[in-house]
């Protein structure tokens, strides 16, 4: 098995706010991410697949094809969008990096070509905070 990672970038707005809590508690737990009128992040998404190199191409997957799949099912739905409002696969979820990474996994896992498996979705919310999801 060989692992290949494609990096994509998107910007999105969100707010972390639990409606069951008071404003004070939300601000205490989520700090800037609870800002009532939204805020944005410059996200970086690393999608790692695993597979065996094809005897014909030497590729586990053509990185352009992987990029196309990521763009069609993830980036085009979330780039320059409000994650709380605009994104079908985030409806009803807290828009944390953790939940977003899991939702991105679910968007991609069944859409890869035969012989290629999703290995990791790594999502940077800031240059110093990232989450990784391996499917369970
Ligand atoms: Ni935030």
Which CATH number goes with the domain that contains 70?
3.30.479.10
* Domain containing residue 120: 2-133
| pLDDT digits 0-9 by tens, 71-90 | 999 999 999 999 999 999 99
pLDDT (0 to 100) of residue 128: 97
pLDDT (0 to 100) of residue 119: 98
**What is the Cα–Cα distance from 74 to 57, expressed in whole angstroms?**
27
Candidates 124, 132, 133; CA nearest to 41 is: 124
pLDDT (0 to 100) of residue 29: 96
2 Cα–ligand 1 center, Å: 34
69 Cα–ligand 1 center, Å: 26
Q: How crowded is residue 72: how many other Cβ atoms within 10 Å of its Cβ? A: 13
Residue range 41-50: average pLDDT? 98
**What is the Cα–Cα distance from 95 to 79, expressed in whole angstroms?**
14
User: What residues contact residue 122 under an 8 Å CB cut-off, 6+ apart?
Assistant: 45, 46, 47, 48, 101, 130, 131, 132, 133
Hey, which residues are catalytic here?
33, 80, 125
14 Cα–ligand 1 center, Å: 6
Q: Which two tokens mark 36?
A: 């009532």
Neighbouring residues of the ion ligand 1, judged by CB less than 5 Å? 33
| pLDDT digits 0-9 by tens, 90-128 | 999 999 999 999 999 999 999 999 999 999 999 999 999
Question: What's the domain count of the chain?
Answer: 1
């Amino acid at each position: 098995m060989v692992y290949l990672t494609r990096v994509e970038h998107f910007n999105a707005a969100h707010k972390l706010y639990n409606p069951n809590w008071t404003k004070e508690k939300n601000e205490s737990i989520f700090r800037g991410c609870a800002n009532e009128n939204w805020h944005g992040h410059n996200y970086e998404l690393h999608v790692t697949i695993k597979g065996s190199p094809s005897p014909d191409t030497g590729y586990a997957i053509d990185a352009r094809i992987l990029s196309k799949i990521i763009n069609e099912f993830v980036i085009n739905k979330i780039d320059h969008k409000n994650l709380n409002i605009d994104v079908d696969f985030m409806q009803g979820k807290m828009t944390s990096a953790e939940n977003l990474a899991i939702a991105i996994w679910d968007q991609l896992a069944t859409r890869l070509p035969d012989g290629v498996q999703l290995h990791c979705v790594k999502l940077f919310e800031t240059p110093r905070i990232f989450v990784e999801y391996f499917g369970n």
